[in-house]
A = this chain, B = another copy of it.
Amino acid sequence: MIKTVEWTNEGVRMIDQRLLPTEEKYLTLRSYEEVAEAIKKMVVRGAPAIGVSAAFGLALGAKQSVGTSVADLEDDFGYMCEVMSKTRPTAVNLFWAIERMRAAFNREKARTQNTEEIKANLVTEALNIFQEDIESNRSIGHFGAPLIPEGATVLTHCNAGALATAGDYGTALGVVRAARDAGKRVAVIADETRPFLQGLRLTAWELAKDEIPVTVITDGMAGHVMKGGKVDCVVVGADRIAANGDTANKIGTYMVAVLAKENNVPFYVAAPITTLDLSLSSGDQIPIEERDTREVTHIGSHQLGPDGVAVQNPAFDVTPNEFIAAIITDRGVARAPYVASLKALAGAKKVGV
């Protein structure tokens, strides 16, 4: 099992995803600031993994707080939540995890005046978030696997695998793994996913480790392979899903969705219910992060483009619900009309598998 992010006695341990696949290096982050910085710099990425990391970071920050009264600890904790919420704007799982940790804090505060007890229970809450994420991926896999035909080739964009979550199954790749574990033959075509190359670097690496056949293409080849009849379905993850099903995901996902529709290839989104943001009626309201242009113009220290070239680097795009055949969640599969189906799943009780 890939250990994307873990709680240890020394701090929050994570695999440095900037260095994969040529280097497999684990960092131990020893303060909440270091965790926030790791999220910002994409040492860890993927909406669910960001949520889990933020929860661990807040638990670590609380544990290290020198505040001796609950009021002091609350001040510290509130500040940490602020810092953590400013790391990345698009993935709603980050804000969900922060809110859940904040709720845990308030629950504890109402229960006890013992700061050590509060700190210990914040660690427990973060560990629960971690464990639930792994279980949620298994549920996504359970609900999604029947959508994958025997012998299918699944195209995916970016990395929505073990490395995008607490570990283990992943979301989009959880569906692939569950299909494989159900005895189906399944192969993956991974878009390389510029600029950060999550497909070439991460998806290819984790699927090879898992012995699931994977072929990498550049993003511009996705249409060509679909037109050639080589893709049976598309499964991608999500960073935020609006109430109407519009889905923010890694830049290029909208391109894949449009090409899938043109070529009659079903396009599925796989994400835990925590990726749902019912406060937004449509995807137009989802904030899209603009990242450093250097991610496009350089690979490491290697300069690719001309000096001073203008670059746009939006990290996400929004796929309108009309392109989405189904949204596979840990509580079941939502289909159009999404306003009703997603609301129903959000209100439903969590299903164990």
Contacts and interface: CB of A to CB of B under 8 A. Distances in A.
A49 to B, nearest CB: 20
A205 interface: yes
How many monomers of this chain does the complex have? 2
Contact of A218 (B194, B215, B216, B217): B194
Interface in A271-300: 296-297, 299-300
Nearest to A218: B194
Given A200-B297, A305-B201, A219 B220 contact: yes
A314 interface: yes
Contact of A254 (B214, B218, B227, B307): B227
Interface residues of A, number: 55
A89 interface: no
Given A194-B220, A219-B220, A204 B305 contact: yes
Interface string A157-169: 1000000000000
Contacts of A259: 255, 258-259
A298 to B, nearest CB: 10
Contacts of A255: 219-220, 222-224, 255, 259
A250 B251 CA distance: 21
19 contacts: A21-B306, A22-B306, A192-B194, A195-B218, A208-B308, A214-B309, A216-B309, A219-B220, A219-B252, A220-B250, A220-B251, A220-B252, A220-B253, A221-B317, A222-B255, A223-B258, A224-B251, A224-B254, A299-B304
B21 A216 contact: no
A349 interface: no
A194 B262 CA distance: 22
Tell me what chain A mostly uses at the interface: helix, strand, loop, or mixed. Answer: mixed
Interface string A18-34: 00011000000000000
Interface string A187-228: 000011111010011001100100001111111111111010
A312 interface: yes
Nearest to A299: B299
A311 interface: yes
A51 to B, nearest CB: 24
A200 B309 contact: yes
A67 to B, nearest CB: 44
B254 A204 contact: no
